[in-house]
Structure 1
Amino acid sequence: MNTEATTYLRHDHQRILALLDVLDAPPGPGPSTVEDRRARAVELVTAESQHRSVEEQLFWPAVRRVLDDGDRLADDALSRGAKATHLLQTVENAEAGSAEFEEALTAFSAAERDRIAFEEQQVWPEFRSAIAVEESQRLGELIQGFHR
């Protein structure tokens, strides 16, 4: 399948945003709801970790290489990601349902949505217009292989 790099990254973004949509809902009463929030948070940590790894190892180096302002864009995105990662670590370490967990999760959701919007609206259009289709497809294959 010849699919371009951003197609796979978009799939990751959609998965992360779907988890955030579930976790953005206010917590309900009862232990199962707290356990469900913990399970979704663990799933979010895993999805985010895999996505960041793909971006750091494959996508951002390509952005730096292909775009004249690639260093600035990659550095901006990585900076946004570092802030979000710190918040996600708090979510991972806090007790589900606690004020610390909920506050970090709310802040992470806003930061992550901002990061995703930055990538999709500012970086991807420039990247897609600057990279050869064949190179983007090769990068897409590498990204797809990373997800297996």
Structure 2
Amino acid sequence: MTTPAILCPSSSSLRSSAADIQTPPPPNNIENYEPPEDAIIKIKPKAMSRLIELKQKREDAASPLILRMGVRNGGCSGLSYVMDFSTSDDIQEEDEVDTYDQEGIQCVVDAKSLLYLYGLELDYSDDLIGGGFKFFNPNAEESCGCGSSFGV
């Protein structure tokens, strides 16, 4: 298992530059992106745009970005979300894989987490406070205020 990646916007610099002010064009025509109907996890356009941005910052930007999602015991509501970068060598036979060929992204869910994550919507917010990846889970009967844990 790889070390969890920090997938929140960077706030290390408080000064703005011209690059911060200019809005770059959306990568890979993301404005036309629609998540596939049969996807296990529906990645919303803002989240996909952020994943593509993270993919382009990697040393090996030509290879697919493999995002492993799952759940583990813990958090305020009983279960918490886990989201890591992974490699193709870490994909197991029993894992479910959503492939986004055009974007160069793969989303991998282990068999145990599939029951809890099927139908989950992954979105992204670049708000200064509370920004980052957001989870909207139709299987959750309760969620904590921070949105990073849930109960069934």
Which structure carries more strand by proportion?
A: 2
Which structure carries more helix by proportion?
A: 1
Tell me: higher relative CO, structure 1 or 2? Use CA pairs within 8 A at least 6 residues apart.
Answer: 1
TM-score by length of 2: 0.23
Higher CA-based Rg: 1
TM-score by length of 1: 0.24
